[in-house]
Structure 1
Amino acid sequence: MAGGKQSPRQRMVNLMYLVFIAMLAMNMSKEVLSAFGLMKEKLSDSNTRATDKNKAAYEALALKASEQEKQYGEAKEKTDSLRVMADDFFNYIEELKTKMTAELEDKTAYESMDKSGFLDQYFFKNGKITNEANEFVGKVNDFREKSLEILGERELATVVAARFNTDDVTNKEGIKQDWLKYNYEGFPLIASLTKLTQIQSDIKTTESDALSALLEKELSAAVSMTNYDAMVVFDKNAYYPGESLSGKIVLGKNDPNLTAEKVVINGKDWPQDKIKAGQVLLDGPAGSVGDKSLTGSFFFKENDSLVEIPIKGGYSVIPKPNEAVISADKMNVVYRGLSNPITISMPGVPSNKVSASAAGLRRIKGDSYMMTPGSGNEVSINVTGDLAGSKITSRKKFRIKDIPPAVGMVRGQYGTVPMPKASLGNISVAAGLPDFLFDLKLNVSSFKVKVPGQVAVPCSGTRMSARAKQAIQKARRGDVVTIFDIKASVSGSSYKIKKVLPVSVEITN
Structure 2
Amino acid sequence: MAGGNLSPRQKMINLMYLVFIAMLAMNMSKEVLSAFGLMNKKIADSNVRAEKSNAASYDALKLKASEQAKQYGDAKRKTDSIRTMSDDLYNYLEGLKGQMTSDVEDKSAYEEMDKPDFLDEYFFQGGKTSPNGQEFLSKVNNYRNETVKILGKRELASVVSSRFETTDVTDSEGVTKNWLSYNFEGFPLIASVTKLTQMQADIKATEADALSALLTQELSAAVSMTNYDAMVVFDKNAYYAGEKLSGKIVLGKNDPNLTAERVVLNGKDVEKSKIQAGQVILDGPTGGVGDHDIKGEFMFREGDSLVKIPIKGSYAVIPKPNEAVISADKMNVVYKGLTNPMTISIPGIPSNKVSASAPGLTKGSGSKYNMRPTGAGGSDVSIRVSGKLPDGTPVSSNKKFRIKDIPAAMGMVRGQFGVVRMPKSSATRIQVAAGLPDFLFDLKLQVLSFKVKVPGQLTVTVNGSGLNAKAASLINKARRGDQVTFYDIKAKVSNSSYQLKKVLPVIVEITN
TM class by shorter chain equals 0.5 to 0.7
Match of 1:159 in 2: 159
Inter-CA distance 251–122: structure 2 relative to 1 (3 Å threshold): closer
Q: Is the 8 A contact 2:54 2:207 kept in 1?
A: yes
Distance 1:98 1:146, change over 3 A: same
Alignment of 1:92-107 (within 5 A): 92-107=92-107
Checking the alignment, whether the CA contact within 8 Å between 1:229 and 1:254 is kept in structure 2 is no
Aligned to 2:308: 308
Cα separation, 2, equivalents of 1:91 and 1:186 = 24
Q: Which residue number corresponds to residue 38 of structure 1?
A: 38
Give, in whole Å, the separation in 2 of the partners of 1:238 and 1:293.
14
Summarize deviations over 1:427-483 as a string: whole Å, max 9, x none. Answer: xxxxxxxxxxxxxxxxxxxxxxxxxxxxxxxxxxxxxxxxxxxxxxxxxxxxxxxxx
Structure-to-structure mapping, 1:29-428, within 5 angstroms: 29-216=29-216, 237=238, 252-283=252-283, 291-315=291-315
Deviations 1:111-140 (A, max 9, x none): 111111111111112333211111110001
Partner AA of 1:138 in structure 2: S
CA–CA separation in structure 2 for the residues paired with 1:235 and 1:81: 49
CA distance in 2, matches of 1:310, 1:195: 56
Aligned-residue identity in percent? 64
Larger radius of gyration: 1
Partner of 2:103, secondary structure, is: coil
Whole-angstrom CA distance in 2 between matches of 1:264 and 1:117 = 73
Per-residue CA deviation, residues 194-237 of structure 1 (Å, 9 max, x unaligned), is 11111111111111111111112899x98xxxx99999779962
1:203 aligned partner, one-letter code: I
CA distance in 1: counterparts of 2:88 and 2:235, whole angstroms: 60
Q: Distance in 1 between matches of 2:279 and 2:215?
A: 23
Aligned 8 A contact 2:292 2:314 in 1? yes
CA distance in structure 2 between the aligned counterparts of 1:87 and 1:232, rounded to whole angstroms: 49
Using the size of structure 2 for normalisation, the TM-score is 0.53
Inter-CA distance 251–301: structure 2 relative to 1 (3 Å threshold): closer
- Does the Cα contact within 8 Å between 2:232 and 2:313 map onto a contact in 1? no
Q: Secondary structure at the match of 1:207?
A: helix
Contact 2:123/2:130 (CA < 8 Å) preserved in 1?
Answer: yes
**Does structure 2 conserve the Cα–Cα contact (< 8 Å) formed by 1:228 and 1:254?**
no
Q: Which residue of 2 aligns with 1:22?
A: 22
How far, CA to CA, are the matches of 1:13 and 1:141 in structure 2? Answer: 52
CA contact (8 A) 1:82 1:207 kept: yes
| Equivalent-residue separation in structure 1 for 2:6 and 2:239 (angstroms) | 120
Structure 2 residue identity aligned to 1:55: A
Corresponding residue SS for 1:45: helix
Letter in 2 for 1:141: N
**Pair 294,279 (structure 1): closer, same or farther in 2 beyond 3 Å:** same
Matched-pair contact (CA < 8 Å) for 1:169–1:177: yes
Q: Which amino acid aligns with 1:90?
A: Y
Query: Residue 253 of structure 1: SS of its match in structure 2?
Result: coil
What is the identity, as a one-letter code, of the residue corresponding to 1:117? D
SS in structure 1 opposite 2:71? helix
Query: Offset of 1:106 from its aligned partner?
Result: 1.8
**CA-CA distance at 1:166 after TM superposition:** 0.6
Partner AA of 2:132 in structure 1: E
Change (3 A) 1:126 1:12: closer
Please give the per-residue CA displacement for 1:233-273, whole angstroms capped at 9, x wherever unaligned.
7996259xxxxxxxxxx994332222223222112233434
- Do the aligned partners of 2:267 and 2:296 also contact (CA within 8 Å) in 1? yes
SS of 1:47 mapped into structure 2: helix
Deviations 1:83-134 (A, max 9, x none): 1111111111111111111222222221111111111111112333211111
Alignment TM-score, normalising by the size of structure 1: 0.53
2:460 counterpart residue number: none
Q: Deviations over 1:268-291 (max 9, x none)?
A: 233434322110123455556665
Q: Structure 1 residues 128, 251: closer, same or farther in 2, change over 3 A?
A: closer
Q: Distance in 2 between matches of 1:125 and 1:7?
A: 41
CA pair 274-232 structure 1, distance change in 2 beyond 3 A: closer
Change (3 A) 1:84 1:4: closer
String of CA shifts for 1:39-70, please: whole Å, max 9, x gaps.
11111111111111111111111112222222
Aligned residues: CA RMSD: 4.1
User: Structure 1 pair 129/174, CA: closer, same or farther in 2 (3 Å)?
Assistant: same
Separation (CA, whole Å) in 2 of partners of 1:5 and 1:173: 34
Contact 1:166 1:179 in 2 (8 A): yes
Indicate if the aligned counterparts of 1:120 and 1:186 stay in contact, CA closer than 8 A: yes
DSSP 3-state at the match of 2:313: strand
Counterparts of 1:5 and 1:136 in 2: how far apart (Å)? Answer: 50
The amino acid that maps onto 1:182 is: Y
**Equivalent position amino acid for 2:115 in 1:** K
State the alpha-carbon separation in 1 of the partners of residues 202 and 291 from structure 2.
65
Q: Deviations over 1:477-500 (max 9, x none)?
A: xxxxxxxxxxxxxxxxxxxxxxxx
Q: Separation in 1 of the partners of 2:255 and 2:200?
A: 39
- 1:5 is displaced (CA, Å) by 12
Structure 1 unaligned regions, length at least 5:
240-249, 321-346, 349-386, 391-509
Give the total of aligned pairs.
310
Distance 1:131 1:12 in 2: 46
The one-letter amino acid paired with 1:127 is G
